[in-house]
Structure 1
Amino acid sequence: MGIKSSDWSDRRHPCHWEAESDDAGFWVPDRSELVTQFFTRYLFFSLAVIYFSTLESVRPVLFSIEQLLVALGVYFFINSWFFRQALQDVTLLKIRSAMSADLIIVTLCVIHDPNPIPPSALAFLMVLLGNGMRYGMRLFAEVLGGAFLGMAIAFAFRYRLGGFEVNAGDVFFGVFWVTLALYAYILMGHIEAQRRQLDYRSRFDTLTGLLNRHGLLAAADTIFDKTNAGTPATVLFADLNQFKAVNDRYGHGVGDRVLAEFAQIFNESAEMGVCGRWGGDEFVALLPQRDEAAIHQIFERIEARTEAWSASNGLPMAVSLGVSHAPRDGNDLMTLLSVADIHLYQSKSKQPESAVLSPFNRILIDEPKAS
Structure 2
Amino acid sequence: MNNSDWSDRRHPCRWESETGDAGFWMPDRTEIVTQFFTRYLFFALAVIYFSTLESVPPVLFSIEQLLMALGVYFAVNTWFFRQALKGVTLQNIRGAMAADLLIVTLCVIHDPNPIPPSALAFLMVLLGNGMRYGMRLFAEVLGGAFLGMAVSFAFRYRMGGFEISAGDVFFGVFWISLALYAYILMGRIEGQRQQLDYRSRFDALTGLLNRHGLLAAADSLFDKANEGNLATVLFADLNQFKMVNDRYGHGVGDRVLAEFAQIFNESVEMGVCGRWGGDEFVAILPMRSDAAMQQIFERIEARIQAWSQSNGLPMGVSLGVSHAPQDGHDLMTLLSVADINLYQKKSQQPTEAKVQPFYRNLADEPETS
Do Structure 1 and Structure 2 share a fold, with TM-score over 0.5? yes
Q: Which residue of 1 aligns with 2:233?
A: 235
* Structure 2 partner of 1:361: none
Q: Is 1:217 aligned to residue 204 of structure 2? A: no
SS of alignment partner, residue 47 of structure 2: helix
Write the distance in 1 (CA, Å) between the matches of 2:109 and 2:217.
48
Could you tell me how far apart the structure 2 residues matched to 1:247 and 1:81 are?
61
Q: Match for 2:98 among 97, 100, 112? A: 100
Are positions 1:348 and 2:358 aligned together?
no
1:296 matched residue in structure 2:
294
Equivalent pairs counted in the alignment come to 354
Alignment gaps of 5+ in structure 1: 357-371
Equivalent residues in 2 for 1:324-363 (5 A)? 324-353=322-351
The answer to whether the 8 Å contact 1:7/1:222 transfers is no
Structure 2 residue matching 1:325: 3-state secondary structure:
strand
TM-score with structure 1 setting the length: 0.94
Counterpart in the other structure of 1:360: none
Distance 2:352 2:157 in 1: 88
Q: For 2:265, which of 264, 267, 271 is the aligned residue?
A: 267
Equivalent-residue separation in structure 1 for 2:253 and 2:79 (angstroms): 57
Deviations 1:21-64 (A, max 9, x none): 22211111111001100110000000000000111111120000
Partner of residue 146, structure 2: 148
Return the alpha-carbon distance in structure 2 between the equivalents of residues 245 and 229 of structure 1.
Answer: 44
SS at match of 2:224: coil
Q: Give 4+ residue runs of structure 1 displaced > 6 Å after superposition.
A: none
What is the aligned partner in structure 1 of residue 17 from structure 2?
Answer: 19
For residues 173 and 116 of structure 1, the distance between their equivalents in structure 2, rounded to whole angstroms, comes to 11
In the TM superposition, residue 354 of structure 1 has moved relative to its aligned partner by 6.4
State the alpha-carbon separation in 2 of the partners of residues 230 and 269 from structure 1: 26
The whole-number CA distance in structure 2 between the counterparts of 1:71 and 1:228 is 46
Equivalent residues in 2 for 1:1-371 (5 A)? 3-228=1-226, 230-353=228-351
SS state of the match for residue 284, structure 1?
strand
Distance in 2, Cα, partners of 1:344 & 1:141: 50
Q: Deviations over 1:81-111 (max 9, x none)?
A: 0011111111111111110000000000000
| 2: CA distance, partners of 1:167 / 1:229 | 63
The answer to whether the 8 A contact 2:235-2:339 is kept is yes
- Quick check: 2:257–2:279 contact (8 Å CA) kept in 1? yes
**Shift of residue 355, structure 1, vs aligned partner:** 11
Unaligned runs of 5+ in 2: 355-369
- Deviation of the 1:4 alpha carbon: 3.1
Q: What is the alpha-carbon distance in structure 2 between the residues aligned to residue 87 and residue 9 of structure 1?
A: 28
Which residue pairs with 1:368 in the alignment? none
Cα shift at 1:228: 3.6
Determine the C-alpha separation between the residues in 1 that align with 2:13 and 2:23.
13
Q: What is the TM-score normalised by the length of structure 2?
A: 0.94
Matched-pair identity in %:
83
Provide the rounded CA distance (Å) in 2 between the counterparts of 1:72 and 1:4.
Answer: 43
Deviation at 1:240, TM superposition (A): 0.2
For the residues of structure 1 that align with 2:85 and 2:63, how far apart are their CA atoms? 33
Whichever residue aligns with residue 199 of structure 1, its letter is D
